[in-house]
Amino acid sequence: MSENRGVSTILNADLHCHSVVSDGTLTPEELAARAKGNGVELWALTDHDEIGGQRRAAAAAHAQGMKYLTGTEISVTFADTTVHIVGLGFDADDPRMLDGLSATRGGRGARAMEMSEQLAKVGIEGAYEGALKYVGNPELISRTHFARFLVETGRCKDTSEVFRRYLTEGKPGYVPHRWASLRDAVQWITRSGGLAVIAHPARYKFTPNEEYALFTEFKAHGGRGVEVVTGSHTAAEAVRYADTAREFGLAASRGSDFHSPDESHTDLGQLPHLPSGLTPVWDLLADRIQ
């Protein structure tokens, strides 16, 4: 292992988090200040299906003395399952990226209305209006906003309980949705100069065959990275996906997936380092760092 590689895996990079531009509760500026306070050296804001916060995030990162990579987290449907693909280091003005994300956001309004109708049937009235109070970006109403409303009404003690009881498959507020294709999402990212990363792979309920198909097709479309260390993984899962990264020849990413001081277990930058011997995604993105 080269000395250079050993050094670069210990960078405090946080390449996954959310602002009020999607389903986080802090502004890009508040996130940048919090990241800096926690020792982050390289940061990316990765709002769901949206890059409207990128300019503010880059400016805030620079004002704090941090390096910055553009970011987003694209919702994809693969094998009838929602998978998240993080894009890093792309050109945030690229028209195909902007159009693709806009189309991906497009179905959220109707989906939210339907979620509200289903919740009304189990006695929860006014969920759409209730969720809207928490929405920072009218194009990005998400299940997280419904979860905050259900906590507010006292129906559940926290957002995890809301997801368990109402907003996941088989539960009364769950509405299946078709997102972008894996191929489109990876191409929007790579053709705008970025690097595509499979987000929090341990979160998906795939069979071994389906997971193998996901990684194989992702690579075939030009995907080059996987999140190994994330707020969504246990230590054992990080070890497991470090092996997967080696097996598929993928670079490794690291990110908290921070959404809110009140909801997130993992704070910005407060994660184990990447295991040594892996290629960090930031090594492949050196010329995209701002």
Q: Please give the residue whose beta carbon sits closest to ligand AMP in the complex.
A: 142
Q: Of 8 and 21, which CB lies nearer to Mn ion in the complex structure?
A: 21
The minimum distance between CB 10 and ligand AMP, in angstroms, equals 28
Q: Does 137 bind ligand AMP (CB under 6 A)?
A: no
Q: Phi then psi for 158, rounded to 5 degrees?
A: -155, 175
Burial class (CB within 10 angstroms; exposed 0-12, middle 13-18, buried 19+) of 216: exposed
Binding partner selected for residue 75 from Mn ion, ligand AMP, none, CB under the kind-specific 5 to 8 Å limit: ligand AMP
Straight-line distance from the first to the last Cα atom of the chain, in angstroms, rounded to the nearest whole number: 27
Q: Phi then psi for 258, rounded to 5 degrees?
A: -65, 135
The minimum distance between CB 132 and ligand AMP, in angstroms, equals 14
Give the range of 51-59, 169-177, 193-201, 271-279 binding Mn ion by CB under 5 A. 193-201
Q: Where are the alpha helices (DSSP H) in 153-273?
A: 159-162, 182-191, 208-220, 235-248
Residues binding ligand AMP: number (CB under 6 A): 10
Contact status, residue 13 vs residue 39, Cβ threshold 8 Å: no
Q: Does 84 bind Mn ion (CB under 5 A)?
A: yes
Candidate residues 48, 105, 221, 233; the one interacting with ligand AMP per rule CB under 6 A: 48
Q: Does 23 bind ligand AMP (CB under 6 A)?
A: yes
The minimum distance between CB 67 and ligand AMP, in angstroms, equals 25
Q: Does 163 bind ligand AMP (CB under 6 A)?
A: yes
Q: Does 257 bind Mn ion (CB under 5 A)?
A: yes
Which residue type is seen at 135?
V
Q: How far apart are CA 224 and CA 213, in angstroms?
A: 15
The minimum distance between CB 159 and ligand AMP, in angstroms, equals 5
Within 177-236, the residues that bind ligand AMP by CB under 6 A are: none
Contact status, residue 45 vs residue 73, Cβ threshold 8 Å: no
Angle (CA) 289-86-271 rounded to 5° is 75
Q: Does 23 bind Mn ion (CB under 5 A)?
A: yes
Distance of CA 274 to the CA centre of its chain: 18
Which residues contribute to the site for ligand AMP (CB under 6 A)?
Answer: 23, 48, 75, 142-144, 159-160, 163, 259
